[in-house]
């Protein structure tokens, strides 16, 4: 078993996100009044305080929490 850290930056995907989901996420983040402003403000904060690797970790933690709290 390797003790090397797992890179969070490489690879194509650890979860399947389809093109429609990505397009809707981008629409919400860039165009939806009332929502895009909140998302852009959060992104600006995160991007100014976290490294790229930390942002990748945060993205994966958010995805995992969404999976855990999904209503069935």
Q: Assess if residue 13 is contained within a domain.
A: no
Buried b (16+ CB within 10 A) or exposed e, 3-13: eeeeebeeeee
Q: How many CB atoms lie within 10 A of CB 17?
A: 11
Contact criterion met (CB below 8 Å) for 60 and 8: yes
- The domain of 59 spans 19-68
Check: pTM over 0.85? Answer yes or no. no
Residue 27 lies in a domain: yes
Q: pLDDT class for 2, splitting at 50, 70, 90? A: low
Residue-level pLDDT at 66: 84
| Crossing angle of helices 52-68 and 36-49, rounded to 10° | 130
| 10 in any annotated domain | no
> Can you tell me the mean pLDDT for 37-43?
97
Q: Is position 26 within any domain? A: yes
């Amino acid at each position: 078993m390797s003790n090397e850290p797992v890179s969070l930056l490489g690879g194509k995907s650890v979860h399947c996100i389809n093109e429609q989901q990505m397009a809707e996420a981008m629409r919400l983040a860039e165009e939806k009044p009332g929502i895009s402003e909140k998302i852009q403000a959060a992104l600006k904060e995160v991007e100014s305080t976290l490294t790229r690797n930390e942002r990748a970790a945060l993205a994966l933690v958010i995805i995992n929490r969404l999976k855990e709290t999904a209503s069935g």
